[in-house]
Each structure stands twice: as structure tokens, then as C-alpha cells.
Structure 1
Amino acid sequence: MDNCKLVASNASAPGHSERMGKQMKLATASQYRFLITAVIVTLTASCNQTPPEQAAAKSEAQAPPVATPEGSKAALSGLSLVDAKIARNSAGTLVVQGRVNNASKQAIGHAAAELRLFDKNGEAIGTVTPTVNNLQAGFAWNFETEIEQQNAVSAKLVGFTGK
């Protein structure tokens, strides 16, 4: 019982409640910092991926997926190229921009889309291979990859590789 009185008397000591309030505010601020960090990490983990309902709606509105031609590249099941175009980005750099859908029921740890580049005469002039990690099932991946060949005007899918 004396301990209870001692604790009670310490709690009412001058400045004690102010110190406790500051300590609680610091703990709360730390919790907010942790929460904000967790939200930022979660949001960046899904960069360049679109939720399934948006991916499905956009893929229906765009051109049909390009079939993977037969060749040395093994196709990853469930991936399809929805769109690929040559453009200049905001910095003026020539890039290939596109969108790949993962219609499978499983996440893909790493995927690469090899694209062959063509000039205005239809001659193959090179390839680019954009890659993505952790493409979730039912999501789409938007990519933009720099092109060295300044005379490239179109790109066609060679195939998908990955695991």
C-alpha cells in the first residue's frame, strides 16, 4: 500500500505529467513516422502495376495481345503484350513504351520482354529487353525503355523469358 501512495505521490510531482505528455507525443510521432514509411514502401512495391479490374478494362479497349512467335525464347504462360510503341519521353529521349498483362493465376518473380526494333523500311535494326520483378497475378506492367537506334520506328515482340 505504501508503494501505491509512493507511485501516486510521484505522479503528482511537479512537471511529471508534462514529461509524460512529451514522452507520449514522441512515441506517437515515431508511430506516425513508421506508419507513413510502411505506406510509402507498400505503394512503391506496386509501381508500374495496375490492379486486375483496371488491367482487364484497358486490355479490352486496346489492340489484341501479340502472339509470341516460335523461336529460342520460351514464352511465360499468361503474359501478353498489349501495346508497344516508339516515342520520345519528356526528356526527348527515344524510347519504346508498352504494356504487358499477367493473366495467369500466379505472380512472376522476373520477366523480360524481348522486342525487335525496325526502321522505316521494315529492316530489323536491334532489340531491347525491358524487365520487371514481382509482377503479380492479374496485374499489368507498364514499361519504358531507352532505345539506342535513333532510326527505330516500330517494335515487335520476340518473346517473354523469366521465372
Structure 2
Amino acid sequence: MRFELDHFFILTDQPEQAGDLLVAFGLQESFRRDHKGQGTSNRRFEFANGMLEILYLRDVEEARNGPAKEMCLAERVAQPEASPFGVVLTRTSGSESVRPFKGWSYQADYFPAPNAFHVGDNSNRLHEPLCVYVPFMAPVERSIDANPLRTLAEVTLLVPA
């Protein structure tokens, strides 16, 4: 396989409740980050082999009109039938940086050019999860932890037929 899961996210309008539920379940929060120009912030929960990101709108206007507007994040939060999920892929060790799916380039304000995300063409299909590839990120050395709450075994996303 040339690609691996870096992290997945859940877009919510209740980040405190969602994050606190994960903490109560036994997951450990690492740090929070604002995504300037994207209109979002997050709560991060690290695993030995990946990360779960609770993503939420910090600024609706920035999400609707900023450089990430084609990701339709504000629309996904506003529409209950929209998929709140996203997967973020990186390349595996020893593989070339090729695009895993058709998409468009998103130059985030928080990464220096030319380090741009590759966002799937499906970003405007709100019933589907967002697909993001990070071509500029080197493969991360992952490990498996004996604690089952520290290792992602599988991520399954279902979409309506």
C-alpha cells in the first residue's frame, strides 16, 4: 500500500461535549489548534499509530469565504444529513508522493507554500466523508501499543446508498 491513515476527524458543533466524552472514555487529549483561514479549531486525541481530531467551526464566515470554502465545512455542520467525517492520508515509507484520488489543491494559511493539501473532488458531496491527502508530509514512524486505547485497529466509514 502506498498510503496510510494519518488521522481521521469528526466535524461537530459540540466540541466540548464530544471531546469530554472521549476523555471520560479514557482517551488522552494532546493539544488544541486553530486553523487560520479555514475557520476551524480542533481537539486532538493521539494514538500510537494515528490521531482522532474533533473538528469544529471557530468562525463560520471564514469557513464559508476563506481558502478552504470548497471543503464545505460550514455547510456540513449546518446540514444534519451531511457526513461529519473525514480521512487524512499520507504516503507510506519508501513510496512516491502521488495523488491517491482526483482532487484539488488547498493551500492552508498555516503551512508555508508550496505545502498544500490535496482534497478529494467529492468535497462538495456532503453525504460523503471528506478525503484529504498530505503529499508534503514525510511518513510518520508508527508503533503498536499494547494498551487497546492507544492503538487504532480499524476505521470504518459508511455512507448512505
When normalised by structure 1's length, the TM-score is: 0.29
Greater helix share, 1 or 2?
1
Rg larger in 1 or in 2?
1
When normalised by structure 2's length, the TM-score is: 0.30
